[in-house]
């Protein structure tokens, strides 16, 4: 189900890839949103900030097809698209094994939808009420391969690990991903509003290490999600070659 | 249930017919203390007709549940009873011989009961009883007994059929209402999403335009936060305690809702995706302690301070972390205030938490605000 390319996406990227000066290499973006006003506004803001918007999409199906056709650096994705849900779009893009990263930009109040999309492969989450500068910075960070962890997303990821740990149905403890003590500490600090630099200063580690810890928690969750899907597929006898 | 009654009837009818044939064959040989039939050929013709009807109703089960069919069956049953007069001599009949079809007419009574309820069942039973009386000519004890049993049978089975039909209708109505509510929820989500989008957009444009438009933007931002808090309440997940007697400590609430009311422009509440259910009294006290901590932030952390409230569900326990990005206090002063309980707010938090059997930790770094961590058992001090 997963080729070597898909595997590589789960490795921590922040430390490996040096921050590129973004003025030299333009970041290519696809914007998917079913509200035309928002779609245009976001696309205009991103173009003004120097990004190249290579496509826009108004529904889930065309978000996937545009992304597969243009292979942008970042897909800015609204969760409530007609046709396909946000998690399905994320899964389709991860399955296609293209380097595009997904940043969720949503007005949705459904936290479970956000969590599902992140588990399916999105690496960032921003509310639409966030300011323009925040959005531009988030797209830039996502293009660099960094996870965009708002306090809200850190809280959701932390909550999901807690839920997995508390699940009575977890017969085999090895199957449940666990956070290290340091990862838990870092996630809690991110969830209560501290920046990577502040956390680094507090814990006497570099802010890059902090970012790595954050990225690792996301990788563990997404890997667990893939493993669960494969297990489900095998249990249903869907593993036979077609 | 009604289908099960029909199925039972389909099984009963052949057995009743076989019993009638058996009884007739015994009579045919002149046993049972009664002389042989006066008109044996007629007896076999009548039983043959009943047999054909029985086989037909088994073969065409699904089509045999209509009013015309059961009406005809009732007529057939009455005719079969009356034919006994021709088959047997009056002396034999008065002597207490069974009717020719035996138990078979009960099938017609049950069919009426299943199709038309208790009224239909009793009506059919009366008609069959009438045929019995006409057949015998006088009301013997035996005939009266049979009639009473038939009427009770028709009434009881009809009542069962009525009840099951009402239950079925109620279930259908409940399912319809649930489907309607689900559809309304789905539409509401779409509408809410649209409103949230629009409010966010007004906020964004308002800030861009500045001046009076900025005020509009801020109003939109406030409404957006309120609506988001309302929509996050996920009404389709009833609290797990909802089925238990809702008394005192037993009642459970979602802590996310209890703390969600603190969210505004200054305070961000960071919940997990699923509900955090805990005893209502504990949740109320915990929420009051969080409120006190947030009051402390407003008083001491400075005008530009922002606060984050993180909710963690740890299985048996719940931890709520309140951090602000205000000026912070030096560790020494904090410890001193905490020990002497001179800090009114800290005292209020500690008091509430020790009542609940929970713990409080305070931490502060200059420049990075103050952090208060409250941990408490979901069930309160009793557990």
Provide the number of structural domains found in chain B: 2
The residue from B155, B174, B193 where one domain ends is: B174
Domain that holds residue B65: 2-174
Question: Domain check: are B44 and B147 in the same one?
Answer: yes
pLDDT digits (tens, 9 = 90+) for A64-76: 999 999 999 999 9
Q: What is the pLDDT of residue B334?
A: 57
Q: Are residues B157 and B248 in the same domain?
A: no
**Helices A207-235 & A111-120, crossing angle to 10 degrees?**
90
Q: Quick one: closest CA in B to A159, which residue?
A: B272
**Do residue B252 and residue B168 come from a single domain?**
no
Look at residue A73 in the predicted model and tell me its pLDDT.
93
Residue B317 near residue B377, CB atoms below 8 Å: yes
Residues in chain B: 383
A163 contacts in B (CB within 8 Å)? 272-274, 313
Which residue out of A82, A191, A198, A210 would a mutagenesis test of the B interface target, given it has the greatest number of B Cβ atoms within 10 Å? Answer: A191
Residue B115 belongs to some domain of the structure: yes
Contact B203, B217 (CB under 8 A): yes
> Within an 8 Å CB–CB cutoff, is residue A154 touching chain B?
yes
The reported pLDDT for the residue numbered A134 is 87
Q: Is residue B169 part of a domain?
A: yes
Q: Which among B150, B174, B198 is the end of a domain?
A: B174
pLDDT at A67: 92
- pLDDT score for A9: 36
Please indicate, yes or no, whether residues B255 and B119 belong to a single structural domain of this protein: no
The answer to whether residue B20 is domain-embedded is yes
Determine, yes or no, domain membership for B285: yes
Nearest CA-CA partner of B84 in B153, B15, B13, B143: B143
Do the strands B359-364 and B370-377 form a parallel or antiparallel pair, or are they unpaired? antiparallel
The answer on B163 and B42 residing in a single domain is yes
Q: A108-112, A222-226, B118-122, B309-313 — which is least confidently predicted? A: A108-112
Same domain, B334 and B256: yes
Categorize the per-residue pLDDT at A84 as very low, low, confident or very high, splitting at 50, 70 and 90. confident
Do B162 and B42 share a structural domain?
yes
Query: Is it the case that residue A6 has pLDDT exceeding 50?
Result: no
Domain membership flag for residue B325: yes
Q: Any chain B CB within 8 A of the CB of A139?
A: no
Q: pLDDT per residue over A139-196, tens digit each?
A: 998 998 888 888 888 899 899 888 888 776 655 555 677 888 899 999 999 998 888 8
Predicted pLDDT of residue B163: 92
Domains of chain A (ranges, CATH numbers): 18-144 (3.40.50.2300), 153-235 (1.10.10)
**Model ipTM?**
0.77
Residues B148 and B248 in one domain: no
Q: Is A192 on the interface with B (CB under 8 A)?
A: yes
Residue B181 belongs to a domain? no
Q: What is the DSSP string of A39-103?
A: HHHHHHHHHHTT-EEEEEESSHHHHHHHHHHH--SEEEE-S--SSS-HHHHHHHHHHTT-S-EEE
What CATH number does the domain containing B373 carry?
Answer: 3.30.565.10
Instruction: Specify the pLDDT at position B274.
Output: 86
pLDDT band at A14 (very low <50, low <70, confident <90, very high): very low
Q: Select from B174, B197, B232 the last residue of a domain.
A: B174
- Quick: pLDDT tens for A33-57: 988 888 998 999 999 999 999 999 9
Tell whether B35 and B157 lie within a shared domain. yes
Give the pLDDT confidence score for residue A103 in this predicted structure. Answer: 93
Assigned domain for B312 exists = yes
* Ranges under pLDDT 50 in chain B: 235-249, 340-342
Residue A228's pLDDT is what? 79
Q: What is the pLDDT of residue B343?
A: 52
Residue A241 predicted with pLDDT over 70: no
Q: Can you give the pLDDT at residue A16?
A: 41
- Alpha helices (H) in chain B, listed in sequence order: 2-28, 40-59, 67-87, 90-94, 105-136, 141-209, 212-231, 255-260, 280-300, 331-340, 344-355
Interchain CB contacts (distance < 8 Å): A and B: 113
Q: Does residue B161 share a domain with residue B31?
A: yes
Q: Measuring CA to CA, how many Å separate B97 from each of A139, B88, B130, B370?
A: 98, 9, 17, 101
Same domain assignment for residues B141 and B248: no
Count how many Cα atoms sit within 13 Å of the Cα of residue B103 in the half-sphere of its side chain: 15
Are both B47 and B162 inside the same structural domain? yes
* Residue B329 confidence (pLDDT): 61
- pLDDT attached to residue B126: 92
Q: Is residue B190 part of a domain?
A: no
User: Residue A22: pLDDT above 80?
Assistant: no
């Amino acid at each position: 189900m997963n080729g070597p390319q898909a595997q590589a996406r789960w490795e921590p990227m922040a430390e490996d890839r040096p921050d590129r000066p973004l003025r030299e290499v333009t970041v290519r973006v696809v914007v998917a949103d079913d509200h035309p006003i928002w779609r245009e506004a976001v696309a205009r803001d991103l173009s003004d900030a120097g990004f190249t918007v290579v496509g826009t999409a108004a529904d889930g199906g065309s978000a996937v097809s545009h992304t597969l056709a243009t292979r942008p650096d970042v897909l800015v994705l609204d969760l409530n698209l007609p046709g396909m849900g946000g998690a399905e779009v994320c899964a389709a893009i991860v399955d296609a094994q293209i380097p595009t990263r997904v940043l969720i930009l949503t007005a949705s109040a459904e936290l479970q939808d956000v969590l599902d999309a992140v588990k399916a492969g999105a690496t960032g989450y921003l509310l639409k009420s966030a300011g323009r500068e925040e959005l531009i910075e988030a797209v830039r960070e996502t293009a660099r391969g960094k996870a965009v962890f708002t306090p809200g997303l850190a809280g959701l990821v932390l909550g999901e690990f807690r839920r997995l740990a508390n699940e009575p149905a977890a017969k085999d403890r090895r199957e449940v991903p666990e956070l290290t003590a340091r990862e838990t500490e870092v996630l809690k600090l991110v969830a209560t509003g501290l920046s990577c630099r502040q956390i680094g200063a507090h814990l006497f580690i570099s802010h890059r290490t902090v970012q790595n810890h954050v990225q690792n928690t996301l990788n563990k969750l997404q890997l667990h999600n893939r493993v669960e899907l494969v297990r489900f597929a095998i249990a249903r006898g869907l593993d036979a070659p077609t | 249930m009604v289908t099960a009654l029909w199925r039972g009837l389909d099984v009963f009818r052949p057995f009743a017919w076989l019993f009638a044939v058996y009884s007739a064959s015994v009579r045919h040989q002149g046993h049972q203390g009664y002389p042989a039939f006066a008109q044996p050929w007629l007896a076999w013709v009548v039983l043959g007709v009943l047999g054909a009807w029985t086989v037909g109703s088994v073969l065409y089960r699904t089509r045999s549940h209509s009013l015309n069919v059961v009406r005809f069956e009732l007529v057939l049953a009455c005719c079969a009873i009356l034919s006994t007069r021709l088959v047997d001599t009056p002396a034999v009949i008065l002597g207490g011989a069974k009717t020719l079809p035996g138990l078979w007419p009960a099938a017609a009574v049950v069919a009426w009961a299943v199709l038309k309820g208790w009224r239909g069942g009793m009506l059919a039973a009366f008609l069959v009883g009438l045929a019995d009386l006409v057949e015998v000519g006088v009301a013997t004890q035996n005939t009266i007994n049979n009639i009473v049993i038939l009427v009770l049978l028709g009434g009881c089975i009809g009542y069962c059929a009525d009840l099951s039909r009402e239950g079925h209708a109620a279930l259908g109505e409940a399912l319809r209402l649930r489907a309607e509510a689900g559809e309304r929820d789905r539409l509401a989500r779409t509408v809410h999403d649209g409103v949230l989008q629009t409010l966010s957009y007004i906020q964004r444009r308002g800030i861009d335009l500045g001046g009076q438009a900025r005020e509009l933007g801020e109003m939109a931002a406030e409404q957006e936060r309120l609506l988001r808090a309302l929509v996050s309440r996920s009404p389709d997940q009833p609290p797990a305690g909802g089925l238990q007697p809702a008394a005192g400590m037993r009642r459970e609430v979602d802590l996310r809702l209890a703390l969600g009311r603190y969210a505004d422009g200054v305070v961000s509440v960071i919940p997990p995706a699923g509900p955090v259910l805990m005893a209502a009294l504990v949740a109320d006290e915990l929420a009051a302690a969080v409120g006190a901590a947030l009051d402390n932030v407003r008083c001491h952390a400075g005008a530009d301070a922002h606060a984050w409230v993180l909710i963690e569900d740890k299985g048996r326990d719940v931890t709520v972390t309140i951090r602000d990005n205000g000026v912070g206090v030096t560790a020494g002063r904090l410890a001193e205030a905490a020990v002497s309980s001179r800090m009114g707010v800290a005292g209020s938090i500690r008091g509430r938490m020790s009542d609940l059997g929970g713990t409080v930790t305070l931490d502060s770094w200059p420049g990075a605000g103050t952090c208060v961590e409250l941990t408490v058992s979901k069930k309160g001090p009793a557990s």
